[in-house]
Each structure stands twice: as C-alpha cells, then as structure tokens.
Amino acid sequence: MRLHNYTLLYLSVALFFIIGVWASIFYFQMLDEVYDSIDDNLQNYKILIIKKAKTDSTILQKVTFDESNYSIKKLPSIAASKTKDIYKDTLMYMENEDDLEAVRLLKTVFTINHTDYYELNILSSMVEEDDLIEDLFYSLIWLYAILLVSIFLVNTFLLRKIWKPFYDLLNQLENFNLSSSNFQPLKTNVHEFKLLNNSVSDLLKKNIELYTSQKQFIENASHELQTPLAISINKLELLAEKNELTETDLYMVASVIENLQRLTRLNKSLLLLSKIENKQFSDEETVSVNEIVNRLAEDFSDLASFKNISIEVVQHAELSVKMNKDLADVLLGNLIKNAVVHNSSNGYVKIILEQDSVLIENSGDQTLDAQHIFKRFYKNAAEKNTTGLGLAIVKTVADKYGFEITYSYNDKHCFRIGF
C-alpha cells in the first residue's frame, strides 16, 4: 500500500468516528436548544392567554383546540391547587400532512379571582425529529465525503511537493549500483529528510568502501597466492624428477600437484573475476564472433573427439561485437568448454550464430537449476574438477557489456548470449 493511501485509510477511519461522536453531541445540543426555545414561546403564550382571559371571559369557553392552538377547561378547585406547569411531547393529527405529528404541549392551571380554576393546554408545532436526523445524516455523509476528497487532493499535492526529496531518494536507492556508485545527495530544507539523506549517504559510502576494499582484497590475495603456489608445484615437480621415489610416493606427489593445480585454477578464476569487476579490461575493439567461435571449436576439437562429441558451427550471419578481445575469448571459451565437458557420451555441441546472438546447445540428460548456475561456486556434486566459477565469469563478462545471457533446457542444454 502506498504511503498516500495508507494515510488516507487511517484518516478516513479516524474521521468516521470523530464525525460520528461530534454528530451525536451536535444533535442533542441542537434539540435541547429547540425545546428551550419552544418552551419559552409556550410560556410567553400562556402569560398572554391568562391576561386575555382576565379581561375577556369568552375565551374561557374555548374547550377544544379547533383552529387555534390552545384550549381551556374548568377544573374543580380542589384538584387544581397542586398542579404545576407540565411540558410534554405528544402527537396530534395535522391536516396538511394527513398524519399524526409530534407537537409540544404545555399543560398549566390558572385562576381567576382565586375562585375559579382552569386548565390551559397550549400547543406548538415541533421539530420533526426523524426528518432532522435524516437531514443531519445526509449532511454529514456529504461532509465526510468532501473531507476525504479534499484530504486526498491535499495529500496528493503535499506528497508530491513535500515528500519529493523522499521519493527522489527512494528512486535513487532503487537504481543504486555498488559498482557504479552513482548516488547524488538530495537538496532539501526539511530536517528529517536532511537526516535521512546524511544517514543514507554515510551508509552507502561505507558500503562502497567495503565493496571496493573487498574487491581489492580478493585481487591482492589472489596475486599473493600465485608465488607460493608456483613454488609448491615446481618443487614437487623437481622432487618427482629425482628418480628416487617409489611408485606410491610418486602417486602421492602427483595427487598433491593435482590439488595444487586445482587451487591455481581457482585462484586464476577468482583473479579474473575481480579484474573484470575492477574494470581492468578497458580497451575495446571490434571482434568477430565468427572468427573466435571457429577458432575455439578447433581448439576443443581434440578434447571433443576424444569424448566422441561432435562440434558443429552454424553461421547464419556475420557477427561482430565491440568489446575486449580477451574477454570475448573468455566468454565464448567458457561456454563452449562447458558444453564439451558437461556433455553426455556420444553427444553433440551445436553453436549457432545469428544476427545479434549466439546459441550454444549441447546434449545432456537433465536440466540445470537456471536460478543458480550463474552464481559463484555453484556446481554439481558429481563434478570434482570444476571450480564452479566458469559460468559466474561468463555472467560477469556479459553484465559488463550489457549482454543478455539466458539458459533453457529442452532435451538439450541451451545457452544464449544476446549482444
């Protein structure tokens, strides 16, 4: 959920309750005021009628409401003395509405000359409560809707305006790339954003430093390993030459050499990876992919024929790419080597050159995990002799030049490089 809608959701729930509570308080207060006003009016009317009755005794005969809004009834003196003013709500038939409507009734008792007691009933039309509630309800619904719409609009505007630095930052972080470190600090006067900006800046700086030093470390470590590796292998080679060793000794020496050579290969691959990442293959030229593929196919022909694997190069087009020549060799060489080495017996390798892509297909029994094959040190448990870095190197080279590399399996392994 976007920040925008999130705020709106909370505000709409809060407003719903606030307006609800406010509406009930408002309703009762208003009703109270209305009653107060009506009752005052009735009181005033009462005084006027009593005054009139003292001078004009004809109105004392008015026992029903009829067209006017009061009635007078003579009372026996005993009962009347205790009666006080009573206001009450009651219903009365209204001609115009053809229905019973709420009215306010004042029942009071007055006396003339302290001998005759009369009961006076005065009516006043009332607020129709159900209508009032209905009106109030609709007004409030409107208020609520308009409030939400205005909050939405204001919020949109504010988010765009005030939160711009925030979204800019977010956008930058989304596109941030450790190796190209393209972070631009924000320009903002808001304290919190400044803080965020500084924190993010610091964090990224530390990360970039860490990344760079780690890359540098791998390169340096690999370099430093070369000499001791060379010494160990060469000393063992000299030892093996000495003709003093038994066959068992030789076998052990051979096994140590073999392992040291694996270590050397691993080290070389790591070095190559960090060199590519450290941008040490900067010189580019237009290289002919056809030429490289044909040469590589020839290079691998001995190995392939030993394994009874056929290599076929299908050239649908002449393909040239602007890139580093050595890396072009590494990219295609690793893929073709993979196709030859990880093949089924009596299998085939087919290299298809298209206008803007190279397809390298080879026979194989089961699909590889497309998610992980390009990760470093990913390898099949059964293959002890691979470094698990070949495809990682391929991917690194492809990424460096923005080539698209994909793997698919359809009864055969298929790697495609889109240039």
Partner 1 sequence: MKILVIEDEASMQEIIKETLEKEKYLVESATTYDSALDKIISFDYDCILLDITLPDGSGLDILFELKKLDKTSNVIIISAKNSIDDKVAGLNLGADDYLIKPFHIAELTARVKSILRRKTLGGKNELVINNVKVLFDDRIAFVNKEALALNRKEFDVLAYFMVNKNRLVNKTSLAEHVWGDFTDESDDFEFIYSQIKNLRKKLKDHHAEIEIQAVYGIGYKLIAL
**Residue 310 C-beta: closest distance to partner 1, Å:** 15
Can you tell me which of 302, 371, 382, 402 binds partner 1, judged by CB under 8 A? Answer: 302
**Which of residues 120 and 272 has its CB atom nearest to partner 1 in the complex?**
272
Strand partners, 287: 321
In the block, tokens 């959701």 appear at 9
Cα–Cα distance measured from residue 97 to residue 100, given in angstroms and rounded to the nearest whole number: 8
Strands 320-323 and 357-363: unpaired
Alpha helices in 56-109 (DSSP H): 77-80
Map the footprint of partner 1 across residues 198-237, applying CB under 8 A: 223-224, 226-227, 229-231, 233-235, 237
Tell me: does residue 254 bind partner 1 (CB under 8 A).
yes
Map the footprint of partner 1 across residues 307-346, applying CB under 8 A: 307, 326, 333-334, 336-337, 340-341
Tell me: does residue 300 bind partner 1 (CB under 8 A).
yes
Strands 285-288 and 320-323: antiparallel
Nearest to 300 by CA among 313, 315, 288: 313
**Residue 284 C-beta: closest distance to partner 1, Å:** 13
Coil, helix or strand at residue 342: coil
**Residue 400 C-beta: closest distance to partner 1, Å:** 16
Q: How many residues does the chain have?
A: 419
**Residue 333 C-beta: closest distance to partner 1, Å:** 5
How many residues line the site for partner 1 (CB under 8 A)? 48
Map the footprint of partner 1 across residues 263-292, applying CB under 8 A: 264-265, 268, 271, 280-281, 283
DSSP state of 372: T
Tell me: does residue 251 bind partner 1 (CB under 8 A).
yes
> What is the separation, in whole angstroms, between the first and last Cα of the chain?
38
Alpha helices in 117-163 (DSSP H): 129-161
Per CB under 8 A, residues contacting partner 1 are 223-224, 226-227, 229-231, 233-235, 237-238, 240-241, 247, 250-251, 253-255, 257-258, 261, 264-265, 268, 271, 280-281, 283, 296, 299-300, 302-303, 306-307, 326, 333-334, 336-337, 340-341, 385-387, 390
